[in-house]
Structure 1
Amino acid sequence: MSLTENKIGSYSEKDVIFLLKDLKQANLEGRTEEREAVIQSGIHYSESLPKEKLPSQSYLSLFHESLAASKREAARLVSILSERILNQRGKNIVLVSLARAGTPVGILIKRYIAIKYGIELPHYSVSIIRGRGIDANAIKYICSMHPLSDIQFIDGWTGKGAIQRELTRSVDSLNDECNLGLKDSLAVLCDPGDCAALYGTKKDFFLPSSCLNATVSGLISRTVLNQQYISSDDFHGAKYYREWMEHDLSIYFIDEISSQFPEIIHSHPRNEIGLSKELDEPGWKGIQDVLKIQKEFKIDDTNLIKPGIGETTRVLLRRMPWKILIGERGNESLNHILMLAEERKVPVEYYEGMSYACCGIIQSVKGV
């Protein structure tokens, strides 16, 4: 397997090491409409990239307002999740975040544990792709570098649970092949899909990093697995958008939330941070809601249904949305959703009773 020749991503390597091949020369981006048609025709989404653009000034202002309003709660949820990880998995662990939504959360967990306990845990970010699995080369590399440590996988949030199922399949396969003793434990900041082993909250919390793309994720694109550019010995790939350095908010976002940690640590004993109640076993309620939506709206493929704030944001930023379902009126966490929907002229409907605050539905190229 080959390591990237140069550092990739705008984060310090003290925060995270990306195990990704930089595809800076690859021609992967396409127009949204063309890419949607290709994906729905059966070409895997990981073989191309959406064309990213910098956010408008009004949308950027909304990001800053949202971050100011939510950073205290985000920090509290990070503290809960971090304590639960240490309680369940111990301190001899390697943090492995799933690129790219999991990367900021992994960095925040690493920083919280360092501030409170003085422990500098190793932290890597690797690719996992629905339908193709986790990057086996990256996991084997981590295990070779840390043979006596356990891996804790980290992501930002859950949707339908597809990534948890993919992680379980990948872990089972790697354990069978290499006898690595991996666990498929996934830690997420919010688990509205009700499918993760470790979580900060079951509520559909708005993490402001979900409303931007590369400029809050270390200037990294979403990950790519295309045999034209990725050999069997390579890590999965991604693009590093160095040209956007002056617009990068990745470290700013981390610093704003982690600045809240000292007060949280001082104000709350450990037993009040994540250890005050038993963790609920995954009930997979989210997928039940998705199947209900699929039936009511007569949608052929559940892959066109993207539940939760994070996934709905992704639909509006890089897919062809058909409509947006909103769980309740007046939810200020959805202001950016409503702004994007208005900009793209996507209809919004109110749909009560789901586990999620909102749900994005992708337009079928065959007509929904």
Structure 2
Amino acid sequence: MGKKKDLQPSRSSFRRSRKRHRVWRYILLTLAILLVTGTALGFYELHRLKPANHFNHLKTVGSGDTSKIKNYKEKAGTFNVLLIGSDSRKGSKASHTDSMVLIHADLNNHTYNMLSIPRDTRVYMDGYGHTKLTSVQYIAQVNHGTKKGIETAVSAVSNLTGVPIHYYAETNYWGLQYMVDALDGIEMNVPFKVTLTHPWYAKNAGKTFAPGVQKLNGEMVTELCHERYSLPGTDYGRQQLQQAALIGIAKKIMQPSNVTRLPALMQSLSKFLIATNMSTEDMVSVGLGVKDNFQPEKQIKYRQVKGRGATMRDDLLKANNSQIILDENELKTTIKKYFSN
């Protein structure tokens, strides 16, 4: 454990930095952005950018401990990316992580396994000790800058899961709304009844959505994916809504009639994506991998690891608070089966 820092954020400053609403898990948008960009550029058939050639011997981000998985094998044509949803606002120098989704993309077999990690998950942060995942990026950015904050968060997730992470991409609330509206809405298969109990826009309080396929604009998609308290399993119900929204976005993007929209979406990339270490070539290679055989309802799979709530010591805040402890055996089994080969 590293030496404790003298500069510690006060509990009150943490409360002030969190606005009235918790920004929902915007991860699904970030994957959609990568698909948009990659698909738009992927029409240029460059041999060296074919996934099996391009995604090979990749560098990892951060300093995560991958020793938890015995005989971890990285295969050509595969990569791991951490999608970050934050409460970042224009002009802010630091943001809290509201959600993270780890994706193992296998472009050889066209499978995309996704694991959503709750924002209150107990993780280890170098130099401080154990704290909530949501706090890691914030304090690292306050002390070391934006990029270091993201890399520190990536390291925390890599340490937790034992998975080497090659890429990251961060977005926020408004990015999802821009994306869906740029596509002129999407069809979303809502898996269960949803009542908005803490909407981003007060005017939407109490609105109810029945199960089934519905045509929704950006505002309604973000409201659905922001909901928590009326859902079965709260955070786990949220994950099901995220999956439904992601599939709706992906299906709309891949419609032939939307090819003409791709250049405009690419030009507006800064509206959707806050930060990423994926290059244009990386996105082209993703596009080449998905464009000929992309069936989101069959290929995108959400994996869940249950956790228990507990009051634990937060070394960063120097106080006890409510945290989520993921089931260690279930986590190891899930990672080994879906994220390590």
Q: TM > 0.5 between the two?
A: no
If the length of structure 1 is used for normalisation, what is the TM-score?
Answer: 0.28
State TM-score, norm by structure 2. 0.29
Higher relative contact order (CA 8 A, sep 6+): 2
Higher strand share: 2
